[in-house]
């Protein structure tokens, strides 16, 4: 039996271009959308979402190309652009009657959330990013052997064909290596780990396409916003490991260039904070929503 977020219903919601998103939805009231990261699905919010569903409608979609959501073939660079994936999220929330919503994302989901905040500032009321830098900054801080920590970014940035074949040939080892390297041995119950691996194994091509977009069209979009001086206008909270100390950059300063109303917090936790330290994530989101 597939594990689910306790007390939430699984629904299908329309994105854009005919794509349907699978989402776990619970609670009632103003909307809060939670976007998962890699190599995960909406299940990663299973400890956080129920805590926030009192007085709020909490919507946890699988991103296009992940989990039980549709995974269209990447017929061009825009299919998995974060701009397109952000438009999916806006459309899905609107289908549930929410024209405006708060938005939080982890890892890949945070990149989608950032793009939604930049493209739809009249829709996104609050924004939380968990353990990622904006795409433009992520590539800028990777230099020399330090870039080895993000080796998968370079693999999946390659032209279509070889990356997909390499990942598919070792799918469980490939995706499992990130669960092991970025988490702890006992962080994921057996059924949850099995579900993450199953879901990723079934979505190799679209996951690679998502990453490939971040080495191309997503950079173009971020660069255009930076050149135009666009910033996130809503209150922003960032939760991040101390990657700056390890890789030699000032994370708060990088984020400050994107957000004027910024609460930047360094968290003593691994990458999968919503599962390792759900109390910290819930507390930060409640604080953000009160601003």
Residue numbers annotated as active site: 107, 271
d(CA 101, CA 127): 9
d(CA 13, CA 19): 9
The CA-atom distances, in angstroms, between 71 and each of 66, 152, 182, 253 are 7, 20, 26, 36
d(CA 40, CA 196): 5
Given a contact cutoff of 8 angstroms between Cβ atoms, the answer to whether 50 and 56 are in contact is: no
How many degrees, rounded to 5, is the angle at CA 21 between CA 18 and CA 24? Answer: 155
């Amino acid at each position: 039996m597939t594990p689910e977020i306790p007390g939430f219903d699984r629904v299908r919601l329309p994105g854009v271009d005919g794509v349907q998103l699978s989402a776990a939805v619970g609670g009632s009231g103003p909307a809060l959308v939670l976007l998962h990261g890699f190599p995960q699905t909406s299940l990663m919010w299973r400890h956080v979402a129920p805590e926030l569903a009192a007085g709020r409608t909490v919507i946890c979609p699988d991103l296009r190309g992940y989990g039980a959501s549709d995974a269209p073939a990447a017929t061009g660079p825009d299919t998995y652009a974060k701009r397109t994936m952000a438009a999916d999220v806006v459309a899905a929330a609107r289908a549930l009657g929410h024209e405006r919503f708060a938005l939080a994302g982890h890892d890949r989901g945070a990149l989608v959330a950032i793009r939604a905040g930049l493209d739809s500032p009249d829709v996104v009321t609050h924004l939380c990013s968990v353990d990622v830098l904006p795409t433009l900054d992520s590539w800028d801080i990777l230099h020399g052997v330090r870039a080895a920590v993000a080796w998968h970014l370079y693999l999946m940035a390659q032209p279509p064909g070889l990356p997909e074949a390499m990942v598919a040939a070792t799918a469980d080892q490939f995706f499992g290596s990130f669960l092991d390297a970025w988490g702890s041995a006992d962080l994921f119950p057996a059924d949850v780990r099995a579900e993450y691996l199953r879901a990723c194994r079934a979505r190799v091509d679209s996951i690679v396409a998502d990453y490939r977009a971040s080495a191309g069209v997503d950079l173009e979009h971020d660069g255009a916003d930076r050149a135009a001086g666009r910033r996130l206008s809503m209150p922003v909270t960032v939760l991040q490991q101390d990657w700056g100390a390890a890789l030699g950059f000032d994370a708060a300063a990088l984020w400050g260039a994107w957000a004027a109303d910024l609460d930047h917090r360094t968290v003593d936790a691994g990458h999968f904070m919503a599962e390792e330290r759900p109390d910290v994530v819930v507390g930060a989101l409640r604080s953000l929503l009160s601003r």
